[in-house]
Amino acid sequence: MKKTKYVEVIPYDSNWPKLFEIQATAIKKALGDNCIAIHHIGSTSVPGLAAKPKIDIIAEVQNLDLPHNTLLNLGYTYRGGFSIPFRKNFTVRAIDLSVNLHIFEHNDPEIELNLLFRDYLRNNPDVRDEYAALKYKLIEKESAHQKKDAIYRGYTLDKHDFIQDILKKTGFNRLRFVICTHHKEWSAVKEYRQKYFFDKVPIQDPYTWTFNHPQHDHLILYQGAEIIGYAHIQLWPDARAAMRIIVVDEARRNNNFGGKFLALCEKWLKSRNYKSIHVESSPAALAFYRKNGYVEMPFNDPDGYEGSIEDAAMGKLL
């Protein structure tokens, strides 16, 4: 049986910045001219803050299409992107060193988000201490589960509200999108689907089974700390994908957020080597898709489902 790893939080260690500097120098050398900047982020970057003893680093690069071998040779292991689409994540796990390396392209909003959060904690000791108290509270919660021989996976998720509140205070207001993971994001998914689609039929959403299906991606669009949009993409064979749903909150429309969200989805699919994206557009959405470069294209659903006769088959090569 695989042993469960429990979260460890320890008091601030003044050696953490030194460990960062050593790793930053090696990473910058390995990435060469592609590397624009290296940032120490996360709790180990905030003096006086209790933290998991893992050094979090952002490498800001010109091009995310980088050779992995340069980092593998430093002892890093590639982990993918997890819930953040435009991220490459590498880790080192050794007896005396634990590092999370997050690589983003220049100007990715995740960089600004992390730096603003870090600097806010650095400049507000009372908030820093409140964050530390929350961490210890979550550790106690984990310990209680452990005693009951149960697994607690909420350490990261249960910090969500605190982090979002800090981001609001920093004024962070950029658009970013993530793969749905947090329960509040899933609540928003259900609300958007029902309100904007299935209430019009009206029926209860019959496709909630896609929430746990590897061929269906559910994406959340944020403006700052606020959820303002949702997209559902189905992954098909032969490097094709279908946009099943894309919607922006009514109060946020007329700002081209829908077009920007669609472009992010297309860029993400292209980065994963998908060649085309397809949609069955309602008459009301035709102008939106045409404006964003979609043309008439056979839908050819591999599952054989047929849409409404009022819908138009559209698509775009990526």
Please indicate, yes or no, whether residues 180 and 165 belong to a single structural domain of this protein. no
Please indicate, yes or no, whether residues 130 and 272 belong to a single structural domain of this protein. no
Give per-residue pLDDT as tens, 126-170: 999 999 999 998 888 755 444 433 344 566 667 889 999 999 999
Q: Give pTM, 2 decimals.
A: 0.90
CA distances from residue 307 to 81, 94, 299, 303 in whole angstroms, order as listed? 33, 53, 10, 12
The count of domains in the chain is: 2
Question: For the chain, how far is it from start to end, CA to CA, in angstroms?
Answer: 44
| Lookup: tokens for 12 | 């601030």
Please indicate, yes or no, whether residues 159 and 179 belong to a single structural domain of this protein. no
Give per-residue pLDDT as tens, 191-227: 999 999 999 889 999 999 999 999 999 999 999 999 9
Residues 87-105, mean pLDDT to the nearest whole number: 94
The candidate with the shortest Cα–Cα distance to 19, out of 51, 66, 64, is: 51
Q: Which of 171, 199, 228 is the last residue of a domain?
A: 171
Please indicate, yes or no, whether residues 229 and 119 belong to a single structural domain of this protein. no
Please indicate, yes or no, whether residues 184 and 229 belong to a single structural domain of this protein. yes
Residues 259-269, mean pLDDT to the nearest whole number: 97
Q: Per mean pLDDT, which range of 2-6, 28-32, 173-177, 270-274 is the poorest?
A: 2-6
Please indicate, yes or no, whether residues 153 and 260 belong to a single structural domain of this protein. no
DSSP code of 53?
Answer: S
Q: What angle do CA 12, 9, 142 make, to 5 degrees?
A: 160
Model confidence band, residue 6 (pLDDT cutoffs 50, 70, 90):
low
Give per-residue pLDDT as tens, 236-263: 999 999 999 999 999 888 889 999 999 9
Q: Which of 108, 139, 171 is the last residue of a domain?
A: 171
Please indicate, yes or no, whether residues 203 and 113 belong to a single structural domain of this protein. no
Please indicate, yes or no, whether residues 55 and 22 belong to a single structural domain of this protein. yes
Is pLDDT of 3 > 50?
Answer: no
Q: What pLDDT was estimated at residue 142?
A: 59
Is pLDDT of 173 > 90?
Answer: yes
Residues 85-89, mean pLDDT to the nearest whole number: 93
Question: Residue 166 sits in a domain of what CATH number?
Answer: 3.30.460.10
Task: For residue 33, give its domain range.
Answer: 1-171
Identity of residue 108: D
DSSP string covering 16-73, please? HHHHHHHHHHHHHHHHGGGEEEEEEESGGGSTT--B-S-EEEEEEES-S---THHHHT
Q: Residue 233: beta bridge partners?
A: 217, 243
